[in-house]
Chains A and B, each alone.
Chain A
Amino acid sequence: MADISIREVRKSYGNDEVVHGVNLEIESGEFVVILGPSGCGKSTLLRMIAGLEDISSGEIAIADKVVNALEPRERGCAMVFQNYALYPHMSVADNIGYALKVAGMPKAERAEKVRQVASSVGLEEFLDRRPGALSGGQRQRVAMARAIIREPQVFLFDEPLSNLDAKLRVQMRHEIRRIHNRVRATSVFVTHDQHEGMTLADRMVIMNKGTIDQVGTPEQVYNAPATAYVAGFIGSPAMNFLGGQLSARHGAVMLENGAMLPVDARLAQAMDGQLVQIGVRPEALTLCQPGTGSLTATFEFYEELGSEGLHHLKIEDVPFSVLSETKMRLEEGTEIGVIIPQEALHIFGAETGRRIDTAGTARIGVMA
């Protein structure tokens, strides 16, 4: 068990900097998910923790020990790879026990340990098979077992579920959480799948273009996204965005189409005239008769989601969606009203993209 601290870490390939001075503290036993689109530097960051990439500048410490110069094997991390990276010529048992073999553990002891770990992930029947004869889910389990058996201080997961089909992915997700609850090793999990992130994480780290946009619990990230980018990235269906301007006189945001959305008067007062982007989640909205709601939109098409319906609208050519249990299948082009509750508004500076809260100042979520 160990905490990880990442201080001003940068990574560049030649002149190309891909990670721009990242700071992050991960507590011992915590499950942290690093979430971001491909190319945001999340995997690079993970690989720097693992020791598979050099750190261009800055410092990474595991259990208060700076590991910059240490070899991967000396860092006490175990890693689960996206393509499992099992040794194709070894049996499942040998794959799982390889690290122990390298460490010089006697054969009998090793076999016993392998059996224990294998049974804990439901692999005891497959110990003699080669990885080639296993299904994707089973291979994933072997990869997990290989990491668990080392009893590492830190578990690193590099998009380990992205090669599985949807059902198996959910199942393995629960499995990983169960293992974490049992083992309680510090875990860092990299993914681009927000569902994985939301369900697994104690805390999430949202990365965007080589920097960290926000660090927080899944609720914090969902309820109070620190930037417009995070707001758009987290939540499905994605958040709606509309351009507007704060107006002290109206105590509201004046949208580009003239509609007024009331906001906290102090905020409007403090930042009068500020160009903003407002964000509202589709699930926070209600449909109503045209003219009676906060604004009026035209109906485009409807998507059935089972328990709810997703209504795709347009406001002055800006797409806008509303998720509700009341399902309305309307003709394309029909006018319809939308009710936007004041507490559902997320306001971001139009230029900075940073969240503007009632105090009238930009803040960066709950930056650690």
Chain B
Amino acid sequence: MIERTPWLNFATHAILFTGLFILVVPIYLVIVAASQTLPDVMAIPAKLLPGDQLVVNIRAAWEEAEFGTKFTNTLILATGVVVGKIAIAALTAFGIVFFNHRLRMPIFWMVFITLMLPLEVRIVPTYAVAANVLSPFQTILDAAGITWLIDALTGIEVALEWNLLNSYTGLIMPLVATATGTFLYRQFFLTIPDELVEAAKMDGAGPLRFLWDILIPLSRTNMAALATIMFVVGWNQYLWPLLIITDPNYGVAAVELSRLVPNMNTTGGDIPNWHWAMAGTLIVMLPPVAVVIFMQRWFVRGLINTDK
């Protein structure tokens, strides 16, 4: 039961507006800085009203950071993560929920454990694997003495190598293989009534048909929620691309943005180009914001699951 007294109304609104203020002010300052000339940005006291240089600054930032290429790359990365994650999450959850086999719980727990090992924690080994995807197999072959055996028998040295550094695959794969989406899907699949599964069986639909004709359409809102989250996560990737991408042709927006933000390297001691940095921030922010706004309706429904 919600109580309504003038005092409580005031208090709740005060908290609400404080929160809003804390959220909005930095964004406002970004817009202000992005729309001023460099002298205005550096002026003391700071000028708190927007100037008229927004378009000029955005164009300058766009060219300076080569955002044309970076945006394309980031879009490929984010889309790849979205598609890969949804596909893998739906399939894994499907296997865990709808099939009764002995490995069901072990697999579930293995997936669960990956929740405790996010990319940041295992970044060094992940890098090693990305540098040579086949290195674990090489290690196994070496340890088992098979390398030696083949070398001794045929004179061929086995050296498996598959390098994913500086590639889209390398960017996307490690981000796809995490458990969150699997859990969202598992929770949804658990709400599917048994009778629906049985009705599909009686209608002659095999497992894949059931997945495709019934589960996938029913999980549309889930998919939208997951897609939104994963798109934002993919778009904002910083650490992983920073680590494995050295070729500027594969650079992504967030990493490039950090290069735009002034420091000793970018300015060489000159006056920092804050107005460009802020303009860059604005445009890098736009795609995820657009996606969230566009998907919001579905997104909320998917997470609270009160559809139907």
Interface residues of A (CB under 8 A from B): 50-52, 71-73, 77-79, 81-83, 85-89, 98-99, 102-103, 132, 146, 150
Contact = CB atoms under 8 A, between A and B. Distances in A.
A102 to B, nearest CB: 5
B201 A72 contact: yes
Contacts of A71: 201
Contacts of B205: 73, 98, 102
Given A52-B198, A87-B214, A73 B204 contact: yes
B198 A102 contact: no
A254 B198 CA distance: 54
B204 A85 contact: no
14 contacts: A52-B202, A71-B201, A72-B204, A77-B202, A79-B198, A81-B198, A83-B195, A86-B199, A89-B214, A89-B217, A98-B205, A102-B209, A132-B308, A146-B199
A85 B198 contact: yes
Contacts of A83: 193, 195
Interface string B177-213: 0000000000000000101101111111100010001
Contacts of B204: 72-73, 99, 102-103
B83 interface: no
Contacts of A82: 195
B202 A79 contact: yes
B218 interface: yes
Given A102-B209, A132-B308, A87 B202 contact: no
Contact of A50 (B200, B202, B209): B202
A150 B204 CA distance: 10
A146 B195 CA distance: 14
Nearest to A89: B217
Contacts of B195: 81-83, 85
Contact of B203 (A51, A52, A88, A146): A146
B288 to A, nearest CB: 29
A81 B199 contact: yes
Contact of A73 (B201, B213, B217, B218): B201
A73 B196 CA distance: 15
B199 A85 contact: yes
Nearest to B197: A85
Contacts of B203: 73, 98-99, 102, 146, 150
B308 A88 contact: yes
A72 B209 contact: no
Contacts, number: 57
A85 B203 CA distance: 11
A95 to B, nearest CB: 9
Contacts of A146: 199, 203
Contacts of A89: 214, 217-218
Nearest to B214: A87
A88 B198 contact: no
Chain A CB within 10 A, most for which of B195, B214, B217:
B195
Given A73-B203, A83-B195, A85-B195, 11 more contacts: A71-B201, A79-B198, A81-B199, A85-B193, A88-B218, A99-B202, A99-B204, A102-B203, A102-B204, A102-B205, A102-B209
Contacts of A79: 198-199, 202
Contacts of A50: 198, 202
Contacts of A72: 198, 201-202, 204
Contacts of B199: 79, 81, 85-87, 146
A52 B201 contact: yes
Interface string B288-308: 000000000000000000001
Contacts of B214: 87, 89
Contacts of A150: 203
A73 B308 contact: no
B128 to A, nearest CB: 45
A215 to B, nearest CB: 26
A146 B196 CA distance: 13
A91 to B, nearest CB: 12
A21 B202 CA distance: 25
A88 B221 CA distance: 14
B209 A85 contact: no
A76 to B, nearest CB: 10
Chain A CB within 10 A, most for which of B200, B201, B204, B209:
B204
A8 to B, nearest CB: 25
Nearest to A87: B214
Nearest 3 interchain pairs by C-beta: A73-B204, A85-B195, A85-B199
A144 B262 CA distance: 71
A99 B201 CA distance: 10
Contacts of B201: 51-52, 71-73
Contacts of B198: 50, 52, 72, 79, 81, 85
A48 to B, nearest CB: 13
A277 B213 CA distance: 58
Nearest to A74: B204
A78 B196 contact: no
Interface string B242-263: 0000000000000000000000
Contacts of A88: 218, 308
Contacts of A81: 195, 198-199
B17 to A, nearest CB: 40
A73 B193 contact: no
Contacts of B308: 88, 132
A50 B209 CA distance: 20
Interface string B213-230: 110011000000000000
Chain B CB within 10 A, most for which of A73, A82, A85:
A85
